[in-house]
Each structure stands twice: as structure tokens, then as C-alpha cells.
Amino acid sequence: MDQDQMSVDSDREQNYEQEEDTMRVEKEHEGDEADQVNDTNTNTNTDTDNVANNADANVSDLNLEDSGVDQSNAEESIDSQLHKIKILPGASSDLKSCTFQIREEDHTLGNSLRYMVLRNPNVDFCGYSIPHPSEHLFNLRIQTDTNSNINAVNALNTALNDLINVSKHALETFQDELESKDYIIEY
């Protein structure tokens, strides 16, 4: 099963590469034409070359998008392995208000993390949301006090540390409690 799947995927990639190649050939032709037209003036010639190059870039961008959902999904899955967390566009330049996107996590982490961030007196706002139930990610928005020297990344880091310590402590107390045998045991 898995092998079948893989071979299908690699076929798709090949197709994609072929498509890209044909696009490149077409672009080269366009470039040639532009060269011929502007042969007399070197300045304009370079300009049009640039334009042609830009056009190339645009076309190839479009091509990426057009080449189908599969390609972008494949890229996304690779991306998610590389980036567990990323800062979404729109964060303030001092990073005091940002939205973090955390992949492959849900309410388990989201809610307790939100609480831990909110414990910090320098944090003005913190909330999380799962934008769509079929996408396994959540967005965590943190805004810190503009007068403090704590930014959102620090606040998140502190909260993560706190939560790790809380669960470590919970584990230790649970194990101590288990060893104390100070409870009803029935076997």
C-alpha cells in the first residue's frame, strides 16, 4: 500500500517537473522575441530583460499554485515537520504583539498554555483558537504591556517553562504519593 502511494507521488512530481520545463522553454522564446525587438537600444534591452525575468518569476509562481493541491500539501507536510511553531504575519516590529501558529497540537496544549501565559502580569492579552477542526493547528495570540521589556516570545517561553515545571512537579508528587501507600489499595 505505502509503496504504491509513494510511486504515485513520485509520478506526480515528475509530471510537475515536466510542466515546469515546458514553461521554461516558452519563456525563453519570449525572451528571444524581446531581444529582437529591442536590439537597437541596449538600455531598453536590459530593461526588457528584467521585465521578462520578472514575468518568468510570476509565471513560475503561478505555476506552483496551479500545479495542484497535492504539491502544496506535500510542501505543507514538510513544512510542518520543520516548523512546529511560526509567527504569523502581522506581528508588531518589537514582537510585543504576535500570533503564533503551533502545528499538530490542539486544546490539550492550547488551553493550558493560554492560562500559563495569562498568569504573567506583563501580558495584556492572550487567547487561542483552532481556526478549522480539520486543520491540526492552533493560533495563539499574545500581547504584552508596551511599557515592559517582555515581548510575546519571552512571555511564551516563560509560560512553556512554567508549564513544564508544573507537570514535572505533578509527576514527582504523584510518584511520592504512590510510594507513601497512604490510600485505599484493593487488588
Partner 1 sequence: MDLYNVPLVGDSPGIDVRIRKLTKNYVDFVLSNIDLSVANSLRRVMIAEVPTMAIDMVEFYQNSSVLADEFIAHRLGMIPLTSEKAKDFKYTRDCSCTQNCHLCSVEMTLHVKCTEDQTLSVTSKDLISSNPDVVPVLEDGQDKGILIAKLNKGQELKLFCVVKKGIAKEHAKWSPCAAVEFDYDPYNKLRHTNYWYEKDKQKEWPLSKNAVEETPEDSSQPYDYNATVKHTVGSLSPETIVTQATKILQDKLEEVQISLENDSKPAMNNSFEEENEYFKESYF
- Positions touching partner 1 (CB under 8 A) are 2, 83-87, 91, 93-95, 100, 102, 105-109, 111-116, 118-119, 149, 151, 153-154, 156-157, 160-171, 173-175, 177-178, 182-187
CA angle, 96 then 102 then 105, to 5°:
140
- CB nearer partner 1, residue 24 or residue 119: 119
Comparison of 6 and 37: residue with beta carbon closer to partner 1: 6
By beta-carbon proximity to partner 1, the closer residue of 57 and 171 is 171
CB of 38 to partner 1, least distance (A): 39
**3 state SS of 97:** strand
DSSP string, 45-84: HHHHHHHHHHHHHHHHHHHHHHT-HHHHHHHHHHHHHH-S
1 or 25, CB closer to partner 1?
Answer: 1
Rounded Cα gap, residues 144 and 121, in angstroms: 9
Report the nearest approach of partner 1 to the CB of residue 102 (Å).
6
Closest contact distance (angstroms) between CB of 37 and partner 1 is 42
- Min dist. Cβ of residue 61 to partner 1 (A): 23
Residue at grid coordinates 506583563: 122
Query: What's the chain's Rg over C-alpha atoms?
Result: 27
What is the arrangement of strands in the sheet containing 123-129, beginning at the earlier edge strand? 85-87, 97-103, 137-144, 123-129
Q: Could you tell me the smallest distance in angstroms from the CB atom of residue 164 to partner 1?
A: 5
Of 43 and 93, which has the nearer Cβ to partner 1? 93
